[in-house]
Amino acid sequence: MHYPIQPREVVVPRSRTVPLVRAQVREEIQNFLRALDSYPARVAKEPRVSFHQHLCSLSVAAHDDRRDTRSRRQ
């Protein structure tokens, strides 16, 4: 099953938010590269899982990890 990739609106950030946006972009790229690296092992276990599903599952897991880390700091 293929899911079309929906384009997102690109908003030019204000200068004070540029470092935050860069960090988010770096994080998304790293997550994508992790998904590329780990997808063959996952598809060997779950032949029907699409790359998109795998990538999304890693994105959700990374988001949950960040939220847990932030809540522990407070």
Residue 32 confidence (pLDDT): 94
In angstroms, rounded to a whole number, what is the distance separating the alpha carbons of residues 62 and 74? 19
Of residues 55 and 64, more confidence is placed in 55
Express each pLDDT in 10-58 by its tens digit.
776 566 677 888 888 999 999 999 999 999 999 999 999 999 999 999 9
- The domain containing residue 56 runs over which residues? 28-38+50-63
- 57 in any annotated domain: yes
Residue 64 confidence (pLDDT): 73
Residue 13 confidence (pLDDT): 58
- 59 in any annotated domain: yes
Domain count, the chain: 1
- 44 in any annotated domain: no
- 14 in any annotated domain: no
Residue 53 confidence (pLDDT): 95
